[in-house]
Structure formats: structure tokens, C-alpha cells
Structure 1
Amino acid sequence: MVGTALAPAPVAADRPRAVRSRVSGGDRVFRVLAYAGGAGVVLVMLLVGLFLLLRGWSAVRVAGMSFLTTDAWDPDSGNFGIAAVLVGTVLIAAVALAFAVPLATGTALYISEYAPGRFRRALIALVDLMAAVPSVVYGLWGAYLLEPAAVPVARWLSTWFGWIPVFRVDGADPTNPLATVSVYTASTFIAGMVVSMMVTPIICSVMREVFSQAPVGEREGALALGATRWGMIRAVVLPFGRGGMIGGTMLGLGRALGETIAVYMIISPVFEIKWQVLQNGGNSISALIAQRFGESTEFGLSALMAAGLVLFVLTLIVNMVASAIITRSRSGAASEA
């Protein structure tokens, strides 16, 4: 009929379409194995923590909170704590990261952005091989090769930057060229340098992997707009890989906190809170356990187990935070280009 509008036909409400898929037997087996592997790792970690807690509980019960604030170590007399070795552990890890992070960042950028194809593969294999070198080899290298070369560096730092408390060396005479250099040997500084060589491959591998995932479109867009290679790296690669850089650094920190043999072979153990990283003497929790494990009484072993529990919890927290940062950077990283 002319002039009469037709009513719109009723529209059926939108409903989500049910998607059904059959799970094959292989998928079920893989799912069970994956869940079992993850649960097994968690179970092992819980058992390790429970073992350390049970074995160290008698020492913790005797010492109480003073276990974290006392810098002496004489469990049999009741005067013991991990304040000194805890500070030493953190200082060694800090020195290690101060050397490892710039070296790992530069190496990762060169491998992912500048190195040609065949040379890149060789460098990747070489960096991965460094992570497989035993700790005792690094300790021997540090004690017999690195330490004589590092002492002049430590002396120069204490001469020109001794006004900074961390670089001060008590008993050193910078004006006397014939003064003994023994005050600079077996120090936190040298131990940290050795540990840095051990954590650099871990940090470099994580950074290299994240840098290589930077969006190709944004890389080419920056270069098309006239940016240099370094300008593209600053505008695209580094912002994209910021989370991976932080996560890789924290993974390296977790490794540096628990390093034992190399520190044990280099450092001269003392039980006092010492902030001077260039001066002879220092200690760490892992080195303390290696030094005193064979000669301790039953109660002394309990105190060592308590110290190991503190190191276990500290390393676990660092690694968990690092894993969370790396996972977030892979899933939602974005550049500022």
C-alpha cells in the first residue's frame, strides 16, 4: 500500500556459538605431563625449604630475631648471626651487577643488531658456553689471573675516590708507591668481578632474546624516517626490551647471591659488617656454609641450615620477581616509537 511503512522484521538475539572440540589422547597425556612437571618443581622447592626450616629451627629458636642482626659467628657459645655475611652477600652481588649489566647489555645489542649472520651464531654459542664453565674454573681464574690485574684498579679507586665511604681503604697510604698491596687483595671488589663473569651469560641471553623480538615494522619505520641505527635502537629496541633488561638483571642477581665456590676461593673471610668493597676481607652466606660445614657441631650445622634458609628465601623471591617481569615484558611490551 502506498505511503504505508513496513514494520521491521524481528531480529533474533545474538547468541555466542558453542564451539566443541575433541581432546585427543596425546593432548591428555601432554596436559598430565605438563601439570605433573610443574607440580614436581613446586614440590621440590617446598621440600627444600621445609628441610632447611626443620634442620635450622633449633638455631632460629635460640637466636630469635638477633639471628638477622648479629655479625659474630660462634654458634656453640650462643653468639651468632648472619648480619655480616648477609651484607657481604648483597655487596658482592651489587659489584657483580655493576660490571655484568653494562657488559651484557652491550654484548646483547651487538649480537642482535650489528653482528653478521655467521659471526652472530658463533657469538651466541660462545656466550652460552660461558654459562657452562664450572664455578671452580672461574675461581682459579680470579685468584691467579684477575686479582693481580685488579689490585692496581682498586688502588686507583681508593686513591681518587676514597672520600666515598664504600671506596675507602683503612691502612692504605696512596702517597707511598712502595706500600703493601695486601690490603686490596681477597676483597669484595675482586670477588664481585669474578661473579660478574659468571652472571653475564645469563643476563646477556635474556636481553638478546627480548631485543630480537622488537617489532620489525617499528624498526623499519624509524629507519625510514631518517633515524640512524643507534637512534632506532634507542627509540624502538631499548624501550621494547626494558622489561627483559630488568628481568634478566634480576635473574643474574639471583645467581650472584648464591654463588659459592668462586667467592670461597677468593675472599678472605671476616665476621664484621664491612662496607668497604675495596679492602681486604669479606664474606657471604654461601661461602660461610662452605667454610664451616665440615667442622661444625650439630648445633653449628643447624645454624648453617638457618643461614641457608635465609639465602634460599632471598634467592627465591628475586627469581620469582624476575620471572614475573620477563613474562609481562614478553606478553605486553611496547615501544615508545
Structure 2
Amino acid sequence: MKDKIFKILLLSASCLILLLTAGVIYALISQSISAFSEFGFFGFISSGEWDSQNDVYGALPFITGTLMTAVLALLFCIPFSLSVALFNGEYFRGRKIATVVSSVVDLLAGIPSIVFGLWGFYVLRPVLIDMGVNAQGFGVLLASIVLAIMIIAYASSLSTEFISMVPNELKEGAYSLGATNLEVIRSVSLPTAWSGIFASYILALGRALGETMAVTMLIGNTNNIPQSLADTGNTMASLIANQFGEASGLKLSSLMALGLLLFLITAAINFVAKNVMKFVSR
């Protein structure tokens, strides 16, 4: 009887997750129909105009801003997070220094995003100005740097776990053949833990894509397509956060359409990542 009750609870929880996901998708699609009917799906995602005065809306500047900041943040994140993961999971595994670094990483992972936004605006922004960067620009660059710092803790924590899970027998076998630490990491640890490390970066990218408050404070919030890292811009999440409260009619539908596009982009990235992981793990 207990086993049956437990199975029913598990089934109920699984069904609830499916229903919640279906509800989110239904709400996004139903509220986006007006915008897609007015501008067309491809017309909406390819238009660079966002004009509240004339009720003309296009998503291209915000898709561009979202992808630029998230991908750039991931590129900044990879070398630092992988270094921290190897430090904690391989070179200094089980030592006190690794425990201290892991605690700091966990602390960073739990800091609210708005705190990172404040730090970026009041600390990092003046530093960039002192370095000669245009004070009116660098929205994309500044937002990407802060996003990278936010996801470093997330990616390094997950990567450390996967590196630590590499069987000791494999590494000891390599050491017995005369391999150095670097050779063991390059030939044993990283290839074995590769699929998990890749998954951690995809999850970090997903967090960067949906980040709102820190990006809103730093990217500049202009409705133009960024031409360089020194330009200001907007992401889908930051635009929704800025304009959702006052939106109605076609503008509200367009914002919901942006939410749907963000959902689809994140789902597509996760789908590709899962297939890549299956291919790598064969």
C-alpha cells in the first residue's frame, strides 16, 4: 500500500509539472496571437522597429541584445569557471583551500541579481570610465561582464561535481603509467566529465538568457540593434520588465510574444544540448 501511494504521489507530481508547462505555453501563445496576426511571425522577429506611438513592434533588436549578452557572458565565463572547477575538483580536492573556494562560489551563486547590478553600475562602470571607455555606451559589454560573473559561480559549481565524479581508478591507472597531473586532466578527467561540463555551461547559458534585473540596470535600455560592444541595447527580459506594467492592447501582446520567443530560444538550446550530450557520450 505504501509503495502504491508513493507511486501515485510521484505520478501526480510529474503530471503537475506537465500541466504547469502546458499552462505557461498556452498563456504565452494565446496572448501573443494578436501581435503575430498583426505583424506575422517572421515579420515580427525580423523587424527592428519598436514604436509605441504608432503601435508598430518588432523583436529583432531585443533578440540580438539577448543573444549578444548571453553568448559573450558565456565566453567570458568558460575559462574562469573551468579553472575554478579544476582547482576544486582535481588539484586541491579535499583540501581546506578547496573548501574555502567552494564556499565562496556557493555564496556568489546565491547573491540576488540586483546586487550584481548595483555592483556593476557603481563599481565596474566607473572603472571602465577611468579606462577611457565611452561613458555613454558600453551597455552590452558591461552587462555581459556582470552576467559572466553571475554564471561563473553556477557553472563552476556544477562542473566541479562532474570532475569529482571521475572514477579514481582511471586516474590512478594513468598516474601508474607515468602521466603528469596535466596529462591526467587532459586525457582522463576532462574527456570523462565532458558531457556533464557541457551541460553545466548550457544551464549557465539558460540563466544568462533569462536574466532580468542586472541586465536592465546595465545594458542602457535603448531599442536599437547593438552594432558593437560599446553600444547600448535591450534584451527581451529587460524590455518586458521595463514596459510590461504600463502595456495594453497590441503592445502587451507584443511583449507576450517576446516572452514566447525567449521560451522557444531557451527550449531550442536545451534540445540541441541534450542531443550533443547524447552524441558525445556514445
Structure 1 length-normalised TM: 0.77
Residue 217 of structure 1, CA deviation: 1.3
Determine which of 75, 81, 91 is the counterpart of 1:114: 91
Matched, 1:67 2:48: no
Determine which of 18, 43, 61 is the counterpart of 1:42: 18
Contact 1:84–1:271 (8 Å) recurs in 2 = yes
Contact 2:143–2:218 (8 Å) recurs in 1 = yes
Which residue in 1 is equivalent to 2:235? 284
Which residue in 1 is equivalent to 2:196? 244
Q: Structure 1: how far apart are the matches of 2:159 and 2:227?
A: 31
Matched, 1:319 2:270: yes
Report 1:44-59 matches (<5 A): 44-59=20-35
Is the partner of 1:274 in helix, strand or coil? coil
Q: CA RMSD in A?
A: 2.1
Q: Deviations over 1:218-239 (max 9, x none)?
A: 1001111111111111110011
Q: Which moved more, 1:211-220 or 1:81-90?
A: 211-220
Is the partner of 2:4 in helix, strand or coil? helix
Change over 3 Å in CA distance of 1:280–1:154 after alignment to 2: farther
Q: Which has the higher helix share?
A: 2
> Highest Rg: 1 or 2?
1
Is the partner of 1:182 in helix, strand or coil? coil
Which residue in 1 is equivalent to 2:182? 230
Is the partner of 1:280 in helix, strand or coil? coil
* Aligned-residue identity in percent: 33
Q: Structure 1: how far apart are the matches of 2:8 and 2:245?
A: 42
Question: Which structure 2 segments of 5+ residues have no match?
Answer: none
Residue 201 of structure 1, CA deviation: 2.0
Contact 1:241–1:333 (8 Å) recurs in 2 = no
Matched, 1:195 2:179: no
Change over 3 Å in CA distance of 1:201–1:32 after alignment to 2: farther
Q: Deviations over 1:37-62 (max 9, x none)?
A: 22222221111111111112111110
Q: Deviations over 1:174-225 (max 9, x none)?
A: xxxxxxx32444x201101111112122211221121111121110011111
Contact 2:55–2:251 (8 Å) recurs in 1 = no
Residue 89 of structure 1, CA deviation: 0.4
Residue 76 of structure 1, CA deviation: 5.4
Change over 3 Å in CA distance of 1:275–1:38 after alignment to 2: farther
Question: Which structure 1 segments of 5+ residues have no match?
Answer: 1-24, 156-180
Residue 275 of structure 1, CA deviation: 3.0
Q: Structure 1: how far apart are the matches of 2:60 and 2:10?
A: 41
Determine which of 116, 120, 128 is the counterpart of 1:150: 128
Q: Structure 2: how far apart are the matches of 1:38 and 1:237?
A: 34
Residue 150 of structure 1, CA deviation: 3.4
Residue 128 of structure 1, CA deviation: 2.1
Q: Structure 1: how far apart are the matches of 2:123 and 2:224?
A: 28
Matched, 1:273 2:250: no
Aligned length: 280
Contact 1:211–1:237 (8 Å) recurs in 2 = yes
Determine which of 245, 249, 253 is the counterpart of 1:294: 245
